[in-house]
Chains A and B, each alone.
Chain A
Amino acid sequence: MTSSIDVEGLSLSFPLYHGNARSLKKTVLSTVTGRMASDNRNRVVVEALRDVNLALRPGDRLALVGGNGAGKTTLLRAMAGIYEPVAGRVRVLGSLNALVDPHLGMNPELTGRENIMLRGMYLGLDKKAIEGLAEDVAAFAELTDFLDLPVRIYSSGMIVRLGFALATSVQPQVLLMDEWFLAGDAGFMEKARVRLENLVRGVEILVLSSHVTDVVLQWCTRALWMDQGRVRADGPPAEVLSAYLGHPVQLSDWAQQRMATTGSDPGEAG
Protein backbone atom coordinates (compact mmCIF):
# COMPACT_ATOMS: atom_id res chain seq x y z
CA MET A 1 0.00 0.00 0.00
CA THR A 2 1.34 3.43 -0.83
CA SER A 3 1.07 5.87 1.98
CA SER A 4 -0.69 9.20 1.87
CA ILE A 5 -2.08 11.91 4.09
CA ASP A 6 -5.02 14.05 3.06
CA VAL A 7 -6.36 16.80 5.27
CA GLU A 8 -9.35 18.70 3.94
CA GLY A 9 -10.87 21.74 5.63
CA LEU A 10 -9.84 20.45 9.04
CA SER A 11 -10.96 22.48 12.05
CA LEU A 12 -10.55 21.47 15.68
CA SER A 13 -11.68 23.27 18.78
CA PHE A 14 -11.36 22.40 22.43
CA PRO A 15 -14.43 23.12 24.51
CA LEU A 16 -13.63 24.67 27.89
CA TYR A 17 -15.95 23.22 30.49
CA HIS A 18 -14.13 24.24 33.62
CA GLY A 19 -15.50 27.05 35.72
CA ASN A 20 -18.21 29.52 34.95
CA ALA A 21 -18.55 29.77 31.19
CA ARG A 22 -19.67 33.37 31.11
CA SER A 23 -16.98 34.87 33.33
CA LEU A 24 -14.42 32.65 31.67
CA LYS A 25 -15.46 33.96 28.31
CA LYS A 26 -15.14 37.55 29.46
CA THR A 27 -11.64 37.17 30.88
CA VAL A 28 -10.46 35.04 28.02
CA LEU A 29 -11.90 37.24 25.30
CA SER A 30 -10.33 40.33 26.80
CA THR A 31 -6.86 38.78 27.04
CA VAL A 32 -6.55 36.64 23.94
CA THR A 33 -7.67 37.98 20.63
CA GLY A 34 -9.06 35.82 17.94
CA ARG A 35 -8.51 32.33 19.35
CA MET A 36 -11.47 32.03 21.67
CA ALA A 37 -14.92 31.82 20.28
CA SER A 38 -18.24 30.46 21.30
CA ASP A 39 -19.72 27.70 19.22
CA ASN A 40 -23.32 27.33 18.13
CA ARG A 41 -24.25 25.97 21.54
CA ASN A 42 -22.75 28.99 23.27
CA ARG A 43 -19.83 27.12 24.79
CA VAL A 44 -16.42 28.73 25.05
CA VAL A 45 -13.95 26.96 22.81
CA VAL A 46 -10.28 27.33 21.86
CA GLU A 47 -9.98 27.12 18.12
CA ALA A 48 -6.81 25.10 17.80
CA LEU A 49 -7.03 24.45 14.04
CA ARG A 50 -8.99 26.39 11.47
CA ASP A 51 -9.57 25.20 7.94
CA VAL A 52 -6.28 23.38 7.37
CA ASN A 53 -5.77 21.78 3.94
CA LEU A 54 -2.89 19.52 3.13
CA ALA A 55 -2.00 16.59 0.89
CA LEU A 56 1.16 14.52 1.30
CA ARG A 57 2.47 11.68 -0.88
CA PRO A 58 5.46 9.32 -0.54
CA GLY A 59 8.70 11.29 -0.57
CA ASP A 60 7.17 14.35 1.06
CA ARG A 61 8.92 15.72 4.14
CA LEU A 62 6.91 18.44 5.77
CA ALA A 63 8.07 20.79 8.50
CA LEU A 64 5.53 22.54 10.71
CA VAL A 65 6.77 25.87 12.02
CA GLY A 66 5.00 28.50 14.08
CA GLY A 67 4.92 30.11 17.50
CA ASN A 68 3.78 28.56 20.75
CA GLY A 69 0.17 27.53 20.65
CA ALA A 70 0.02 27.79 16.85
CA GLY A 71 -1.50 24.32 16.64
CA LYS A 72 1.46 22.20 15.49
CA THR A 73 1.09 19.47 18.07
CA THR A 74 -2.67 19.46 17.65
CA LEU A 75 -2.30 19.01 13.87
CA LEU A 76 0.08 16.08 14.43
CA ARG A 77 -2.40 14.47 16.83
CA ALA A 78 -5.24 14.98 14.38
CA MET A 79 -3.22 13.26 11.67
CA ALA A 80 -2.57 10.38 14.08
CA GLY A 81 -6.32 9.98 14.60
CA ILE A 82 -6.15 10.95 18.26
CA TYR A 83 -8.41 13.97 17.84
CA GLU A 84 -11.28 13.44 15.42
CA PRO A 85 -12.23 16.40 13.21
CA VAL A 86 -14.83 18.89 14.39
CA ALA A 87 -15.13 19.99 10.78
CA GLY A 88 -13.47 18.61 7.66
CA ARG A 89 -11.77 15.31 7.03
CA VAL A 90 -8.51 13.48 7.71
CA ARG A 91 -7.38 10.45 5.70
CA VAL A 92 -4.16 8.58 6.40
CA LEU A 93 -3.05 5.44 4.58
CA GLY A 94 -0.08 3.31 5.55
CA SER A 95 1.53 2.17 8.78
CA LEU A 96 1.87 5.08 11.13
CA ASN A 97 3.94 6.01 14.13
CA ALA A 98 3.30 9.24 15.99
CA LEU A 99 5.93 10.53 18.39
CA VAL A 100 3.95 13.33 19.98
CA ASP A 101 4.06 12.55 23.67
CA PRO A 102 7.46 12.91 25.36
CA HIS A 103 6.71 10.01 27.70
CA LEU A 104 5.24 7.88 24.92
CA GLY A 105 2.84 6.48 27.46
CA MET A 106 5.71 4.94 29.45
CA ASN A 107 4.66 3.91 32.92
CA PRO A 108 7.42 4.78 35.42
CA GLU A 109 6.31 2.05 37.82
CA LEU A 110 6.85 -0.70 35.26
CA THR A 111 10.26 -2.10 34.43
CA GLY A 112 12.03 -1.14 31.22
CA ARG A 113 11.28 -4.56 29.77
CA GLU A 114 7.58 -4.33 30.59
CA ASN A 115 7.38 -0.89 29.00
CA ILE A 116 9.05 -2.23 25.87
CA MET A 117 6.63 -5.16 25.76
CA LEU A 118 3.60 -2.88 26.12
CA ARG A 119 4.86 -0.53 23.44
CA GLY A 120 5.34 -3.49 21.12
CA MET A 121 1.82 -4.70 21.79
CA TYR A 122 0.38 -1.25 21.19
CA LEU A 123 2.14 -1.28 17.84
CA GLY A 124 0.55 -4.63 17.06
CA LEU A 125 3.82 -6.59 16.98
CA ASP A 126 3.74 -10.34 17.54
CA LYS A 127 5.61 -12.12 20.30
CA LYS A 128 8.76 -12.75 18.32
CA ALA A 129 8.94 -9.20 17.05
CA ILE A 130 8.54 -7.94 20.62
CA GLU A 131 11.55 -10.02 21.68
CA GLY A 132 13.49 -8.47 18.82
CA LEU A 133 12.31 -5.05 19.92
CA ALA A 134 13.46 -5.66 23.50
CA GLU A 135 16.91 -6.76 22.30
CA ASP A 136 17.28 -3.83 19.94
CA VAL A 137 16.18 -1.27 22.51
CA ALA A 138 18.29 -2.79 25.27
CA ALA A 139 21.37 -2.80 23.05
CA PHE A 140 20.92 0.79 21.94
CA ALA A 141 19.96 2.20 25.31
CA GLU A 142 22.78 0.27 27.05
CA LEU A 143 20.59 -0.50 30.02
CA THR A 144 21.75 -4.10 30.62
CA ASP A 145 20.93 -4.87 34.26
CA PHE A 146 18.50 -2.00 34.63
CA LEU A 147 16.11 -3.42 32.09
CA ASP A 148 14.35 -5.43 34.78
CA LEU A 149 14.08 -2.59 37.27
CA PRO A 150 11.29 -0.01 37.38
CA VAL A 151 11.81 2.99 35.10
CA ARG A 152 11.15 5.17 38.17
CA ILE A 153 14.64 4.50 39.50
CA TYR A 154 16.44 5.26 36.21
CA SER A 155 18.55 8.37 35.90
CA SER A 156 17.04 11.01 33.61
CA GLY A 157 19.67 10.21 30.98
CA MET A 158 18.67 6.55 31.04
CA ILE A 159 15.01 7.44 30.64
CA VAL A 160 15.81 9.61 27.63
CA ARG A 161 17.85 6.81 26.09
CA LEU A 162 15.09 4.26 26.66
CA GLY A 163 12.36 6.55 25.32
CA PHE A 164 14.42 7.45 22.30
CA ALA A 165 15.40 3.85 21.52
CA LEU A 166 11.77 2.74 21.84
CA ALA A 167 10.46 5.50 19.64
CA THR A 168 13.00 4.92 16.88
CA SER A 169 12.96 1.14 16.84
CA VAL A 170 10.08 0.61 14.46
CA GLN A 171 10.03 1.73 10.89
CA PRO A 172 6.62 3.06 9.83
CA GLN A 173 5.61 4.38 6.42
CA VAL A 174 4.29 7.59 7.93
CA LEU A 175 6.23 9.22 10.75
CA LEU A 176 4.79 12.13 12.73
CA MET A 177 7.33 13.72 15.04
CA ASP A 178 6.96 16.57 17.51
CA GLU A 179 9.75 18.98 18.33
CA TRP A 180 10.56 17.67 21.80
CA PHE A 181 12.06 14.75 19.97
CA LEU A 182 14.85 16.87 18.55
CA ALA A 183 15.24 19.07 21.59
CA GLY A 184 18.80 19.55 22.79
CA ASP A 185 19.91 18.87 19.25
CA ALA A 186 23.43 20.21 19.73
CA GLY A 187 24.24 17.84 22.54
CA PHE A 188 22.64 14.86 20.91
CA MET A 189 24.82 11.79 20.91
CA GLU A 190 26.27 10.98 17.51
CA LYS A 191 24.93 7.44 17.81
CA ALA A 192 21.41 8.71 18.38
CA ARG A 193 21.67 11.11 15.48
CA VAL A 194 22.68 8.35 13.09
CA ARG A 195 19.81 6.20 14.28
CA LEU A 196 17.28 8.97 13.86
CA GLU A 197 18.58 9.91 10.41
CA ASN A 198 18.34 6.28 9.34
CA LEU A 199 14.77 6.12 10.55
CA VAL A 200 13.80 9.32 8.77
CA ARG A 201 15.47 8.15 5.56
CA GLY A 202 13.41 4.98 5.62
CA VAL A 203 9.97 6.51 6.04
CA GLU A 204 7.83 7.46 3.08
CA ILE A 205 6.16 10.51 4.61
CA LEU A 206 7.61 12.62 7.39
CA VAL A 207 5.80 15.38 9.24
CA LEU A 208 7.98 17.17 11.72
CA SER A 209 7.34 20.07 14.03
CA SER A 210 10.58 21.93 14.60
CA HIS A 211 12.14 25.32 15.17
CA VAL A 212 15.66 24.18 14.44
CA THR A 213 16.68 25.81 11.16
CA ASP A 214 19.29 23.19 10.34
CA VAL A 215 16.86 20.32 10.80
CA VAL A 216 14.15 21.94 8.70
CA LEU A 217 16.50 22.88 5.87
CA GLN A 218 18.35 19.59 5.86
CA TRP A 219 15.47 17.17 6.26
CA CYS A 220 12.40 18.77 4.78
CA THR A 221 11.16 19.40 1.28
CA ARG A 222 8.24 21.56 2.29
CA ALA A 223 7.27 23.75 5.20
CA LEU A 224 3.97 24.92 6.63
CA TRP A 225 3.83 28.06 8.75
CA MET A 226 1.03 27.75 11.27
CA ASP A 227 -0.33 30.86 12.92
CA GLN A 228 -3.22 30.84 15.38
CA GLY A 229 -4.47 27.56 14.01
CA ARG A 230 -4.42 28.67 10.38
CA VAL A 231 -1.94 27.94 7.60
CA ARG A 232 -0.11 31.22 7.06
CA ALA A 233 2.32 30.01 4.40
CA ASP A 234 3.08 26.76 2.59
CA GLY A 235 6.11 26.25 0.36
CA PRO A 236 9.84 25.45 0.14
CA PRO A 237 11.47 25.31 3.59
CA ALA A 238 13.96 28.14 3.04
CA GLU A 239 11.27 30.59 1.90
CA VAL A 240 8.72 29.77 4.55
CA LEU A 241 11.33 29.76 7.28
CA SER A 242 12.73 33.17 6.29
CA ALA A 243 9.20 34.59 6.16
CA TYR A 244 8.47 33.15 9.59
CA LEU A 245 11.74 34.23 11.19
CA GLY A 246 11.82 37.55 9.36
CA HIS A 247 15.39 37.13 8.07
CA PRO A 248 17.09 34.98 5.42
CA VAL A 249 18.09 31.52 6.57
CA GLN A 250 20.82 29.11 5.55
CA LEU A 251 22.41 25.95 6.86
CA SER A 252 24.94 26.59 9.58
CA ASP A 253 28.60 26.00 8.69
CA TRP A 254 28.63 23.12 11.07
CA ALA A 255 25.73 21.37 9.35
CA GLN A 256 27.23 22.00 5.91
CA GLN A 257 30.48 20.44 7.01
CA ARG A 258 28.68 17.47 8.41
CA MET A 259 26.70 16.95 5.24
CA ALA A 260 29.89 17.09 3.20
CA THR A 261 31.53 14.42 5.35
CA THR A 262 28.61 12.00 5.58
CA GLY A 263 27.73 12.68 2.00
CA SER A 264 24.03 12.30 2.42
CA ASP A 265 21.08 14.08 3.80
CA PRO A 266 18.21 12.25 5.37
CA GLY A 267 15.71 14.29 3.44
CA GLU A 268 16.15 12.06 0.43
CA ALA A 269 13.74 9.19 0.59
CA GLY A 270 15.62 5.91 0.28
Chain B
Amino acid sequence: MDGSSHLQPSENVVLDLAADQSWGERNRAAWRDVCDGLAQWRLVWTLAWLDIRLKYRGSVLGPFWLTLSTGAMVAAMGILYAVLFRLELRDYIPYLGLSLVLWGFVGALVSDACGAFTTNQGMIRSVRMPFTLYAARIVVRNLIILGHNAVVVVVANLVLWTWPPAGVAWLALPGLVLWLAVSLSLALLLGALCARLHDIPPIVANVMQMAFFLSAVIWKPEQLDDRQWMLALNPFFCLLEVVRGPLFGTPPSLLVVGCALGYSAVLFAITWLVFARVRGRIAFWL
Protein backbone atom coordinates (compact mmCIF):
# COMPACT_ATOMS: atom_id res chain seq x y z
CA MET B 1 0.00 0.00 0.00
CA ASP B 2 1.01 3.58 -0.56
CA GLY B 3 4.50 3.79 0.84
CA SER B 4 3.72 1.87 3.98
CA SER B 5 3.54 -1.75 2.95
CA HIS B 6 6.74 -2.39 4.90
CA LEU B 7 4.92 -1.90 8.18
CA GLN B 8 3.79 -5.19 9.53
CA PRO B 9 3.09 -6.26 13.08
CA SER B 10 6.38 -7.91 13.89
CA GLU B 11 5.13 -10.82 15.88
CA ASN B 12 3.00 -13.57 14.51
CA VAL B 13 0.10 -14.17 16.78
CA VAL B 14 -0.77 -17.71 17.57
CA LEU B 15 -3.93 -17.59 19.59
CA ASP B 16 -5.34 -20.80 20.91
CA LEU B 17 -8.00 -20.15 23.48
CA ALA B 18 -10.31 -22.81 24.81
CA ALA B 19 -12.88 -22.96 27.56
CA ASP B 20 -12.87 -25.48 30.42
CA GLN B 21 -9.15 -25.29 30.98
CA SER B 22 -7.44 -27.63 33.41
CA TRP B 23 -5.34 -26.17 36.21
CA GLY B 24 -2.20 -27.01 34.28
CA GLU B 25 -3.38 -24.99 31.27
CA ARG B 26 -4.46 -22.12 33.49
CA ASN B 27 -1.07 -22.03 35.18
CA ARG B 28 0.70 -22.03 31.85
CA ALA B 29 -1.50 -19.22 30.53
CA ALA B 30 -0.92 -17.15 33.67
CA TRP B 31 2.82 -17.77 33.49
CA ARG B 32 2.88 -16.74 29.84
CA ASP B 33 0.99 -13.58 30.75
CA VAL B 34 3.63 -12.67 33.33
CA CYS B 35 6.55 -13.44 30.99
CA ASP B 36 5.01 -11.64 27.99
CA GLY B 37 4.16 -8.66 30.18
CA LEU B 38 7.69 -8.34 31.55
CA ALA B 39 9.17 -8.87 28.08
CA GLN B 40 7.36 -5.66 27.07
CA TRP B 41 9.47 -3.63 29.50
CA ARG B 42 10.07 -0.95 26.89
CA LEU B 43 6.34 -0.32 26.56
CA VAL B 44 5.90 -0.49 30.34
CA TRP B 45 8.59 2.13 30.81
CA THR B 46 7.11 4.41 28.15
CA LEU B 47 3.59 4.14 29.58
CA ALA B 48 4.84 4.86 33.09
CA TRP B 49 6.80 7.92 31.94
CA LEU B 50 3.87 9.21 29.92
CA ASP B 51 1.62 8.84 32.99
CA ILE B 52 3.95 11.12 34.92
CA ARG B 53 4.55 13.56 32.08
CA LEU B 54 0.80 13.80 31.56
CA LYS B 55 0.04 14.46 35.19
CA TYR B 56 2.49 17.33 35.32
CA ARG B 57 2.28 18.59 31.74
CA GLY B 58 2.47 22.37 31.71
CA SER B 59 3.70 22.66 35.28
CA VAL B 60 7.08 24.26 35.92
CA LEU B 61 8.39 21.91 38.60
CA GLY B 62 6.70 18.78 37.26
CA PRO B 63 7.03 15.74 39.51
CA PHE B 64 9.19 17.77 41.87
CA TRP B 65 6.00 19.30 43.22
CA LEU B 66 5.53 15.99 44.98
CA THR B 67 9.07 16.19 46.32
CA LEU B 68 8.39 19.68 47.65
CA SER B 69 5.17 18.70 49.38
CA THR B 70 6.81 15.62 50.89
CA GLY B 71 9.67 17.80 52.08
CA ALA B 72 7.32 20.35 53.67
CA MET B 73 5.43 17.54 55.38
CA VAL B 74 8.62 16.03 56.78
CA ALA B 75 9.80 19.39 58.11
CA ALA B 76 6.48 20.29 59.71
CA MET B 77 5.69 16.87 61.16
CA GLY B 78 9.29 16.28 62.18
CA ILE B 79 9.54 19.44 64.24
CA LEU B 80 6.06 19.03 65.77
CA TYR B 81 6.54 15.41 66.83
CA ALA B 82 10.10 15.97 67.99
CA VAL B 83 8.73 18.59 70.36
CA LEU B 84 5.66 16.56 71.38
CA PHE B 85 7.52 13.31 72.01
CA ARG B 86 10.70 15.07 73.22
CA LEU B 87 12.84 13.44 70.52
CA GLU B 88 16.28 14.40 69.28
CA LEU B 89 15.65 16.47 66.11
CA ARG B 90 18.84 15.36 64.34
CA ASP B 91 17.86 11.76 64.86
CA TYR B 92 14.13 11.98 64.25
CA ILE B 93 13.90 14.09 61.07
CA PRO B 94 16.10 11.84 58.87
CA TYR B 95 14.15 8.85 60.18
CA LEU B 96 10.78 10.46 59.49
CA GLY B 97 11.88 11.63 56.05
CA LEU B 98 12.99 8.16 55.03
CA SER B 99 9.86 6.54 56.48
CA LEU B 100 7.42 8.96 54.85
CA VAL B 101 9.10 8.73 51.45
CA LEU B 102 9.04 4.91 51.52
CA TRP B 103 5.50 4.81 52.87
CA GLY B 104 4.46 7.26 50.16
CA PHE B 105 5.46 4.60 47.65
CA VAL B 106 3.58 1.84 49.47
CA GLY B 107 0.41 3.88 49.89
CA ALA B 108 0.29 5.19 46.31
CA LEU B 109 1.11 1.77 44.90
CA VAL B 110 -1.69 0.03 46.79
CA SER B 111 -4.29 2.63 45.86
CA ASP B 112 -3.19 2.61 42.20
CA ALA B 113 -3.23 -1.19 42.22
CA CYS B 114 -6.98 -1.16 42.79
CA GLY B 115 -7.41 0.54 39.42
CA ALA B 116 -4.78 -1.50 37.59
CA PHE B 117 -7.32 -2.96 35.16
CA THR B 118 -10.39 -0.78 35.54
CA THR B 119 -8.50 2.36 34.50
CA ASN B 120 -7.20 0.57 31.41
CA GLN B 121 -10.52 -0.80 30.24
CA GLY B 122 -10.38 1.06 26.92
CA MET B 123 -7.09 -0.59 26.04
CA ILE B 124 -8.07 -3.99 27.41
CA ARG B 125 -11.20 -4.06 25.27
CA SER B 126 -9.49 -2.98 22.07
CA VAL B 127 -6.33 -5.09 21.94
CA ARG B 128 -5.14 -8.29 23.55
CA MET B 129 -2.21 -7.52 25.85
CA PRO B 130 -0.79 -9.38 28.84
CA PHE B 131 -2.47 -8.16 32.02
CA THR B 132 0.93 -8.07 33.70
CA LEU B 133 1.74 -5.10 31.45
CA TYR B 134 -0.85 -2.93 33.23
CA ALA B 135 0.33 -4.09 36.66
CA ALA B 136 3.98 -3.42 35.83
CA ARG B 137 3.07 0.04 34.54
CA ILE B 138 1.82 0.97 38.01
CA VAL B 139 4.91 -0.38 39.74
CA VAL B 140 7.28 1.50 37.43
CA ARG B 141 5.27 4.71 37.63
CA ASN B 142 5.49 4.68 41.43
CA LEU B 143 9.18 3.80 41.33
CA ILE B 144 9.83 6.90 39.25
CA ILE B 145 7.95 9.00 41.80
CA LEU B 146 9.93 7.33 44.60
CA GLY B 147 13.10 8.35 42.79
CA HIS B 148 11.98 11.98 42.80
CA ASN B 149 11.02 11.85 46.46
CA ALA B 150 14.37 10.39 47.46
CA VAL B 151 15.70 13.93 47.11
CA VAL B 152 13.90 14.73 50.39
CA VAL B 153 15.95 12.16 52.26
CA VAL B 154 19.20 13.41 50.78
CA VAL B 155 18.38 17.04 51.59
CA ALA B 156 17.35 16.19 55.15
CA ASN B 157 20.65 14.39 55.72
CA LEU B 158 22.59 17.24 54.09
CA VAL B 159 20.95 19.94 56.18
CA LEU B 160 21.39 18.10 59.47
CA TRP B 161 24.69 16.52 58.34
CA THR B 162 23.68 13.09 59.58
CA TRP B 163 24.71 10.28 57.30
CA PRO B 164 23.87 6.68 58.10
CA PRO B 165 26.85 4.26 58.15
CA ALA B 166 27.45 3.34 54.51
CA GLY B 167 28.50 -0.18 55.47
CA VAL B 168 24.96 -1.52 55.88
CA ALA B 169 23.08 0.62 53.35
CA TRP B 170 23.67 -1.86 50.55
CA LEU B 171 21.61 -4.40 52.52
CA ALA B 172 18.58 -2.41 51.32
CA LEU B 173 19.14 -3.73 47.79
CA PRO B 174 17.78 -7.26 48.35
CA GLY B 175 14.93 -5.57 50.20
CA LEU B 176 14.16 -3.43 47.15
CA VAL B 177 14.18 -6.49 44.91
CA LEU B 178 11.64 -8.08 47.24
CA TRP B 179 9.58 -4.89 47.04
CA LEU B 180 9.48 -5.11 43.25
CA ALA B 181 8.08 -8.62 43.35
CA VAL B 182 5.62 -7.80 46.12
CA SER B 183 4.46 -4.66 44.27
CA LEU B 184 3.83 -6.51 41.03
CA SER B 185 2.01 -9.22 42.90
CA LEU B 186 -0.17 -6.70 44.76
CA ALA B 187 -1.04 -4.88 41.53
CA LEU B 188 -2.14 -8.11 39.86
CA LEU B 189 -4.13 -9.30 42.87
CA LEU B 190 -5.84 -6.03 43.79
CA GLY B 191 -6.36 -5.11 40.14
CA ALA B 192 -8.24 -8.35 39.51
CA LEU B 193 -10.21 -8.29 42.77
CA CYS B 194 -11.24 -4.66 42.38
CA ALA B 195 -12.40 -5.23 38.80
CA ARG B 196 -14.84 -7.85 40.06
CA LEU B 197 -15.80 -6.57 43.53
CA HIS B 198 -16.44 -2.87 43.69
CA ASP B 199 -16.42 -2.85 47.51
CA ILE B 200 -12.72 -3.61 47.70
CA PRO B 201 -11.21 -0.14 47.04
CA PRO B 202 -12.83 1.55 50.10
CA ILE B 203 -11.82 -1.41 52.28
CA VAL B 204 -8.25 -1.17 51.01
CA ALA B 205 -8.18 2.58 51.69
CA ASN B 206 -9.25 1.95 55.29
CA VAL B 207 -6.70 -0.79 55.82
CA MET B 208 -3.93 1.43 54.49
CA GLN B 209 -4.87 4.28 56.78
CA MET B 210 -4.72 1.96 59.77
CA ALA B 211 -1.49 0.41 58.58
CA PHE B 212 0.10 3.87 58.42
CA PHE B 213 -0.34 4.31 62.16
CA LEU B 214 0.40 0.72 63.15
CA SER B 215 3.57 0.23 61.07
CA ALA B 216 6.01 2.49 62.89
CA VAL B 217 6.16 5.06 60.11
CA ILE B 218 6.05 8.19 62.26
CA TRP B 219 7.19 6.55 65.47
CA LYS B 220 10.13 4.30 66.19
CA PRO B 221 9.92 0.60 67.04
CA GLU B 222 12.09 1.27 70.11
CA GLN B 223 9.21 3.24 71.61
CA LEU B 224 7.41 -0.09 72.17
CA ASP B 225 10.18 -1.21 74.55
CA ASP B 226 9.89 -4.92 75.28
CA ARG B 227 6.77 -5.30 73.16
CA GLN B 228 8.67 -4.75 69.90
CA TRP B 229 8.14 -8.38 68.89
CA MET B 230 4.46 -7.53 68.29
CA LEU B 231 5.53 -5.56 65.21
CA ALA B 232 6.54 -8.82 63.54
CA LEU B 233 2.83 -9.62 63.30
CA ASN B 234 2.38 -6.65 60.97
CA PRO B 235 3.28 -7.51 57.35
CA PHE B 236 3.52 -3.84 56.44
CA PHE B 237 6.11 -3.20 59.16
CA CYS B 238 8.25 -6.18 58.22
CA LEU B 239 8.30 -5.24 54.56
CA LEU B 240 8.95 -1.59 55.32
CA GLU B 241 11.78 -2.46 57.67
CA VAL B 242 13.75 -4.60 55.19
CA VAL B 243 14.37 -1.46 53.12
CA ARG B 244 14.22 1.27 55.75
CA GLY B 245 16.37 -0.43 58.37
CA PRO B 246 19.56 -0.74 56.30
CA LEU B 247 19.15 2.77 54.87
CA PHE B 248 18.85 4.20 58.36
CA GLY B 249 21.82 2.23 59.59
CA THR B 250 19.90 -0.28 61.68
CA PRO B 251 19.68 -3.61 59.78
CA PRO B 252 16.46 -5.49 60.58
CA SER B 253 16.53 -8.49 62.88
CA LEU B 254 16.41 -11.99 61.45
CA LEU B 255 12.88 -12.32 62.80
CA VAL B 256 11.71 -9.32 60.78
CA VAL B 257 13.49 -10.52 57.63
CA GLY B 258 12.03 -14.00 58.04
CA CYS B 259 8.54 -12.61 58.56
CA ALA B 260 8.89 -10.33 55.51
CA LEU B 261 9.84 -13.32 53.37
CA GLY B 262 7.05 -15.41 54.84
CA TYR B 263 4.35 -12.80 54.28
CA SER B 264 5.62 -12.25 50.72
CA ALA B 265 5.45 -15.97 50.00
CA VAL B 266 1.84 -16.08 51.21
CA LEU B 267 0.99 -13.05 49.05
CA PHE B 268 2.61 -14.64 45.97
CA ALA B 269 0.67 -17.85 46.52
CA ILE B 270 -2.67 -16.05 46.87
CA THR B 271 -1.95 -13.85 43.85
CA TRP B 272 -1.04 -16.85 41.74
CA LEU B 273 -4.19 -18.78 42.69
CA VAL B 274 -6.46 -15.78 42.03
CA PHE B 275 -4.72 -14.61 38.87
CA ALA B 276 -4.50 -18.04 37.25
CA ARG B 277 -8.17 -18.59 38.09
CA VAL B 278 -9.64 -15.29 36.86
CA ARG B 279 -7.21 -13.96 34.21
CA GLY B 280 -9.48 -14.95 31.32
CA ARG B 281 -12.50 -13.35 33.00
CA ILE B 282 -11.14 -9.89 33.74
CA ALA B 283 -12.13 -8.50 30.34
CA PHE B 284 -15.76 -9.51 31.01
CA TRP B 285 -15.89 -7.59 34.28
CA LEU B 286 -14.78 -4.18 33.03
> In the assembly, what is the distance between CA of A101 and CA of B5, in Å?
23
Tell me whether B125 and A101 are in contact (CB under 8 A). Answer: yes
A77 touches B9 (CB 8 A): no
Q: How far is the CA of A69 from the CA of B19 in the complex (A)?
A: 23
Q: Produce 1/0 per residue, B144-185, CB < 8 A to A.
A: 000000000000000000000000000000000000000000
A95-B9 in contact given A89-B18, A89-B19, A110-B50 (Cβ < 8 Å):
yes
> Do A195 and B11 have beta carbons less than 8 Å apart?
no
Q: How far is the CB of A262 from chain B (nearest CB, A)?
A: 15
Say how far A92's CB is from chain B's closest CB, in angstroms. 4
Question: Can you give 23 A-B contacts (C-beta < 8 A)?
Answer: A15-B284, A77-B125, A81-B17, A81-B128, A82-B127, A83-B284, A84-B281, A85-B18, A87-B19, A90-B18, A95-B13, A101-B126, A103-B122, A105-B123, A118-B46, A118-B50, A125-B9, A133-B4, A133-B7, A136-B7, A171-B4, A171-B8, A172-B8
Q: What residue in chain B is nearest A11 (Cβ atoms)?
A: B19
Q: How far is the CA of A80 from the CA of B17 in the complex (A)?
A: 10
**Residues A90 and B15 in contact, CB atoms below 8 Å apart:** yes
Tell me which residues across on chain B come within 8 A of A172, comparing CB atoms: 8-9
B232 at the interface (CB under 8 A from A): no
* B10, closest chain A residue (CB): A124
Q: Which residues of A contact B124 (CB under 8 A)?
A: 82
What chain A residues lie within 8 Å of B19 (beta carbons)? 11, 84-89
B1-57 interface with A by 8 A CB criterion = 1-20, 40, 42-43, 46-47, 50, 54, 57
CB-based contact A80/B9 at 8 Å: no
**Chain A residues closer than 8 Å to B6, beta-carbon distance:** 129, 132
A95 CA / B234 CA spacing, docked (Å): 49
Of A15, A93, A118, the residue contacting B14 (CB under 8 A) is: A93
Give every chain B residue within 8 A of A139 (Cβ-Cβ).
Answer: 3
Number of interface residues of A (CB under 8 A): 59
Minimum CB–CB distance for A129 against chain B, Å:
6
Given contacts A85-B19, A121-B42, A172-B8, contact A92 B13 (CB under 8 A): yes
Q: A96 — nearest CB in chain B belongs to which residue? A: B13
CB atoms of A118 and B1 under 8 A apart: no
A93 (CB) vs chain B CBs: closest residue: B14
Does residue B285 face the partner (Cβ distance < 8 Å to A)? Answer: yes
How distant is the Cα of A171 from the Cα of B10 in the complex, in angstroms? 10
B258 located at the interface, meaning its Cβ lies under 8 Å from any Cβ of chain A in the complex: no
Interface centre among B8, B13, B125, B129 (most CB of A within 10 A): B13
CB contacts (< 8 Å) of B9 on chain A: these are 95-97, 123-125, 170, 172
Instruction: Pick the contact of A129: B3, B10, B125 (CB < 8 A).
Output: B10
Sort A-B residue pairs by CB-CB distance and give the 6 closest, nearest first. Answer: A101-B126, A84-B280, A198-B1, A81-B128, A92-B15, A89-B18
Q: Are A171 and B7 in contact (CB under 8 A)?
A: yes
Nearest residue in B to A98 (C-beta to C-beta)? B127
Q: Which residue of B lies closest to A126 (CB)?
A: B10
Q: What separation, in Å, do the CA atoms of A105 and B19 have in the docked complex? A: 27
Q: CA separation between A232 and B284, bound complex, in Å?
A: 25
Judge whether A199 is part of the interface by a CB distance below 8 angstroms. yes
Measured CA separation A183–B4 after assembly (Å): 24
How far is the CB of A258 from the nearest CB of chain B, in Å?
19
- State in angstroms the CA–CA spacing of A174 and B2 once bound together: 19
A91 & B4 in contact (Cβ 8 Å cutoff)? no
Taking CB as reference atom, which chain A residue is nearest B47?
A: A118
Contact between A104 and B12, CB atoms less than 8 A apart: no
Please report the C-alpha to C-alpha distance between residue A86 and residue B122 in the assembled complex, in whole angstroms.
22
Q: Which residue of B lies closest to A3 (CB)?
A: B12
Q: How far is the CA of A171 from the CA of B2 in the complex (A)?
A: 11
Q: Is the CB of A100 within 8 A of B126?
A: yes
Q: How far is the CB of B44 from chain A (nearest CB, A)?
A: 10
The answer, yes or no, to whether A117 is at the interface (CB within 8 Å) is yes
Q: Which residue of B lies closest to A170 (CB)?
A: B7
Q: Do residues A84 and B283 form an inter-chain contact, with CB atoms below 8 A?
A: yes
Chain A 215-244 interface mask (CB, 8 Å, partner B; 1/0):
000000000000000000000000000000
A148 at the B interface (CB under 8 A): no
Interface bits A106-137 vs B (CB < 8 Å: 1, else 0): 01011000100110011111100100110010
